[in-house]
Amino acid sequence: MNTVVKLPTPTDIQAELPENVCVFSDDQELISQIASICPHAICEGGGIGSAIEHATQNVSEGCFLVDITDRDPAQSLQNIRSLCALVQNLAVVGEINDVAFYRRAIRAGARDYLVKPATTEVLSEAITYVSTSNFIESESSNCKTIYITGSGGGSGVSSFVAGAAWHLSEKCNLKVALIDLDLSFGTIALSFDLEPSHGLREILENPDRVDSLFIASATAKLTESLSILAAEEDLENPPTIQPRALNMLIDDLSKTFDCIVVDLPSSVLSSNPELLAPANHLAVVSSMNLAAIRDVLRLRTLNEAIGGERPLSVIANLPGRRDVTELTQKEFAKGLQTPVIHCLPRDPKSLVEAAKTGQAVTDAVPNSELSKSIADIAVDLSGRPDLGSSGSSIWKRLMLRRRQRA
């Protein structure tokens, strides 16, 4: 018996499409296709940049169809994240015919990704789908990416990063990846008595080599919950970090880790501000003097210029002994024009003990006031208050009181 299948007519297709459809593309053929099925659609040129500008100035209801042809893939993914913070119903069209890129686009927030050339039927189905399907949070959204930098050299970033990462992994039961982006002078591998690898350099210089197997081979697994990517490159041949490669590395790690902690030297950040794009949170470890105030304010301006709503936390770090240029916490906060919630106490003995044993300070001397403060701050930066904290230290109670007054 023959079965007759009735295909939908253009009228049937138009009846199913949403009222508000916005298309952003310079491809006239694509625009003509949309116009044939959705004559009331708003069509503008400029691609995803125009889409973000439109979404910030208008009510973001309906469906957005955005063309990312001829755009840098890593930058496109970051722009998709930015756009999805403003709109929910997003379909993306491009020429990259790759399953891995499709998955990254979906994790970035897009509901569908179409490869050109797309037929009229496929376009109409995509528009209908993204407009009616329930919103599903991207699978990488639970992974928190924390970038930690310093207001200058010797501010104590690496000691704090090592201690924070160890506490989150071993005491809070999170699966943590720790990345040291100081490929020549980094001390994270040294802090944990690990042999640095050249694999991290290969990853960060060659985006095409970023895949799960290569990342695994370049990663040192310190414990079941803490993995470290660090290097120690020759000074005669300085490495170059490709922002696209870092974005892809972060994206791949977010599939399997609960938290990614990145030690980002201020010198590297100032020359490559685009490296900050994947960060969910930026923390600045700072001494308390006039130069530090200047540098923190400049880093705050840079963070705002990169875009997004990434919070910035300042961690005041007291040196081993008081310096004549050191300000009081009140003076430091006044210079920053914001309360200083996080502060690390002076504790050179604990740092020396940690260095001798090749451990994070939170592991080597877990009951010290410094370790307890690092643990509390790490939990706060993770955005997971349910993880608990070190509990009853006097320093913590002082910080809580200060936060309440702020």
3-class SS string, 205-250: HCHHHCCHHHHHHHCEECCCCEEEECCCCCCCCCCCCCHHHHHHHH
The whole-number average pLDDT for the span 253-259 is: 92
3-state SS class at 136: coil
173: left (phi over 0), alpha (psi -120 to 50) or beta: left
Nearest-angstrom CA–CA distance, 398 and 406: 12
pLDDT at 17 over 70: no
> How far apart, in whole angstroms, are the C-alpha atoms of residue 4 and residue 35?
29
Question: Is the Cα torsion angle 355, 359, 360, 361 positive or negative in sign?
Answer: negative
What are the residues whose beta carbons fall under 8 Å from the beta carbon of 82, sequence distance 6 or more?
A: 52, 307, 308
Query: Please, which residues have CB within 8 angstroms of residue 208's CB and are 6 or more apart in sequence?
Result: none
Mean predicted confidence (pLDDT) in 233-252: 86
Q: How many helices (H) and strands (E) does the chain have?
A: 18, 13
pLDDT band at 392 (very low <50, low <70, confident <90, very high): very low
Instruction: For the domain made up of 144-405, give the CATH fold.
Output: Rossmann fold (3.40.50)
Contact 170, 176 (CB under 8 A): no
Q: Are 78 and 95 spatial neighbours (Cβ–Cβ below 8 Å)?
A: no
Looking at residue 191, its amino acid is: S
pTM of the full predicted structure? 0.64
Q: What is the DSSP letter of 387?
A: G
Q: Can you give the residue ranges of every domain in the chain? A: 10-132, 144-405
Q: How confident is the model at residue 290 (pLDDT cuts 50, 70, 90)?
A: very high
Single-letter amino acid code for the residue at 314 = V
Query: Which residues make beta-bridge pairs with 64?
Result: 22, 90
Structural contact between residues 254 and 145, judged by C-beta atoms closer than 8 angstroms: yes
Determine the length of the chain: 406
DSSP 3-state assignment of 44? strand
Q: Is the model more confident about 288 or about 106?
A: 288
Separation in Å, CA 206 to CA 100, 249, 267: 17, 11, 21
SS3 90: strand
Q: Of 282, 241, 242, 243, give the one whose Cα is nearest residue 262.
A: 282
Torsion of CA 215, 219, 221, 225, to 10 degrees: -60
Determine the CATH number of domain 10-132. 3.40.50.2300
Residue 340 has pLDDT above 90, yes or no: no
Strand partners, 21: 63
Given this chain, do its domains 10-132 and 144-405 carry the same CATH topology?
A: yes
What is the tens place of the pLDDT at every residue in 196-218?
Answer: 888 899 899 887 777 888 888 88
Helix or strand holding residue 281 (H, E)? strand 281-286
pLDDT band for position 260 (cuts 50, 70, 90): very high
